[in-house]
Amino acid sequence: MIRTLIADDEALMRTGIRLILDNADDLEVVAEAPDGHAAVRACREHEVDVALLDVHMPGGDGISAIAGIARESPRTRVAMLTAFGDDHNLAEALRAGAVGFLLKDTGPVELIHAVRVAATGESILSPQITRRLIERHVLAGDDQAGTARRRLDRLTDAERDVLRLVSTGLSNAEIAQRLHISTGTAKAHVSRILTALDCANRVQAAILAHDAGLRAD
């Protein structure tokens, strides 16, 4: 079972998400929280696998909770819940270590799938929103772009090919299919990429790839 937490200051939103997740046989909502501080405590106490955090909550927002969750419950993957267009805060959340983000109007099937993906440690990326996020708030000036390119010099040609596809939001299985390699090989490449680039997750690696100007064909 994937142990899940829902953190949102609106009780109605928490109830709606719980009803959706309860329909999946492999997901269990083990805790709810009205703010970030409560979310940190709940992740530790309930051994949460995936935490869904609202970006904006009084008394401790979702972004500030990421560091606390990483410290108190390292096993927990954090995905942010947001309204469409809240790009600036999402950029901060991704750099802080969130595995991705979900729009609050995400459909039931997509929400359940996203929680399953997050539990594996893979990123939750909506290509359309991620592209706009990177263009508006992540792409930096020449100095940072140069630094990013130098960091990518640590990678082999094969790893750079994998990173190009990671930056588009593809899963390990999709990358394997695209490059005609096994899923295990794709997973191993991604693991080495994260280590070589000193990135906490796939989202940070994708941002670095965009900073360096690395693009998928």
Angle at 78 between CA 77 and CA 80, to 5 degrees: 155
**Burial class of residue 107, CB neighbours in 10 A (0-12, 13-18, 19+):** exposed
Question: What is the C-alpha separation between 29 and 20, in angstroms, rounded?
Answer: 10
CATH assignment, 140-211 = 1.10.10.10
- Proportion of the chain above pLDDT 90, given as a percent: 52
Question: What is the C-alpha separation between 93 and 36, in angstroms, rounded?
Answer: 13
**Burial class of residue 139, CB neighbours in 10 A (0-12, 13-18, 19+):** middle
User: pLDDT tens digits for 122-159?
Assistant: 777 665 566 655 565 455 555 677 888 899 999 999 99
Below-50 pLDDT ranges, the chain: 137
> Which pLDDT score is estimated for 143?
60
Which structure tokens are listed for 6? 């829902």
> Which pLDDT score is estimated for 85?
57
Per the listing, tokens 């990678």 go with 155
Q: Fold match between 2-134 and 140-211?
A: no
User: pLDDT tens digits for 194-217?
Assistant: 999 998 778 778 888 888 888 766
Q: How much is the mean pLDDT over the chain?
A: 86
What SS3 class is residue 42? helix
Look up the pTM and report it. 0.71
- Contact indicator for 88, 129 with CB cutoff of 8 Å: no
> Per CATH, which fold does 2-134 belong to?
Rossmann fold (3.40.50)
Which structure tokens are listed for 109? 């099937």
Sequence spans of domains, the chain: 2-134, 140-211
